[in-house]
Amino acid sequence: MPTTSSHNLSAATRRFDGRVAVVTGGGSGIGAATALRFAQDGAKVAVMDLDASALAGDVAIARNGDCTDAAASAAFFDEVESVLGPVDVLFNNVGQSAREKGGPFVDSEEGTWRFVLEVSLLTAMRASRRIAPSMRQRGRGRIVNMSSDAALVGDRGLADYAAAKLGVVGFTRALARELAADGVTVNAVCPGAIRTRAHDRLSPEVLARIRAGTPAGFVGEPEDVAALVTFLSSDEARFITGQTILVDGGRWML
């Protein structure tokens, strides 16, 4: 993935100088685009993913690890806090649908539901539980949770994913109310069709249907979501909390 050197950016764009930003599931796609944007804006960035090697050298910490593994997640945050300092921004990006195991709910299996709920909802809760007390104590912080427009649309064949991602919305709202008076904001972003590696496996016919169902008429890029996440993580968004914002070209409108 091409990167832009932070040396080419003006001081005015470095909104996160001196701040520590964590991106879970940041090895590729939206997570990687956001991690690079944070780094370009001056943040000390830490990423954990099954394969974070593509970001080695572009961020302060890039660790391979399973975000659904509580012990591995705890060790990662231990390292971040020890090496970089307290976390100022947490982007709970990791998550996925059942993918090849997906299909009609009446044919689904509980083991698949549990995996989707774990990776798409419980990872966000676990990471937030780890860093929220420190943010609260320091009187500042930003948490952005990854949801999906599938949570609102209710796409066929994605019952478990829609349930997990709407759970993210509810979690976001409740945590935002708890932390608002402490200077900590919590928001959710809901991407729609975004060009990631998962889209590379789709047939031209499926991609055509996706474009046809998107009023904007095209598939978004990871950078389109990264722009929103970094805004919500900045000082400019201090009065925005508990919100669910879609980045889907108009497929679903609140």
Asked if the model's pLDDT at residue 205 lies above 90, the reply is: no
Whole-number Å distance between alpha carbons of 48 and 224? 21
Q: If we measure between CA atoms, which residue out of 151, 175, 176, 174 comes closest to residue 161?
A: 151
Q: Mean pLDDT throughout 53-77?
A: 98
161 is catalytic: yes
- C-beta atoms surrounding 226 within 10 Å: 24
- 14-247 belongs to which CATH class? alpha beta
Q: For 157-182, write each residue's pLDDT tens digit.
A: 899 999 999 999 999 999 999 999 99
Report the pLDDT value the prediction gives residue 101, as an integer from 0 to 100.
86
- Mean pLDDT value across the chain: 92
User: How far, rounded to the nearest angstrom, does the alpha carbon of residue 113 sit from its chain's CA centroid?
Assistant: 20
Do 226 and 247 touch, CB atoms closer than 8 A? no
Question: Is the pLDDT at 233 greater than 90, yes or no?
Answer: yes
**Which of these ranges, 6-10, 111-115, 218-222, 226-230, has the smallest mean pLDDT?**
6-10
Average pLDDT score over residue span 10-18: 76
Q: Which residues contact 244 (CB under 8 A, 6 or more apart)?
A: 147, 169, 172, 173, 187, 188, 189, 190, 254
Pairing type for strands 244-247 and 89-92 reads unpaired
Rounded Cα distance between 165 and 114, Å, is: 13
Supply the DSSP symbol for 220.
B
Alpha helices in 41-118 (DSSP H): 70-83, 110-117
Give the confidence band of 202 by pLDDT, cuts at 50, 70, 90. Answer: low
Residue count of the chain, please give it: 254
Determine the pLDDT at residue 197: 75
Per the CB < 8 A criterion, the answer to whether 63 and 48 are in contact is yes
pLDDT of residue 204: 80
DSSP code, position 154 = -
pLDDT digit string (tens) for 22-44?
999 999 999 999 999 999 999 99
Per-residue confidence (pLDDT) for residue 1, from 0 to 100: 41
Q: What is the pLDDT of residue 115?
A: 96
Which amino acid belongs to residue 225?
Answer: V
The catalytic residue among 161, 185, 247, 251 is: 161
- Distance between CA 27 and CA 30 in Å, rounded? 9
**Dist. CA 84–CA 113, nearest whole Å:** 36
What does the pLDDT read at residue 247?
97
pTM of the model: 0.92
- Calculate mean pLDDT across residues 43-55: 98
The DSSP code for 47 is E
Please tell me the distance from the alpha carbon of residue 44 to that of residue 61, in angstroms, as a whole number.
8
- Digit-coded pLDDT (tens) for 110-150: 999 999 999 999 999 999 999 999 999 999 999 999 999 99
State the pLDDT at residue 3.
Answer: 45
User: What percentage of the chain has pLDDT greater than the value 90?
Assistant: 81
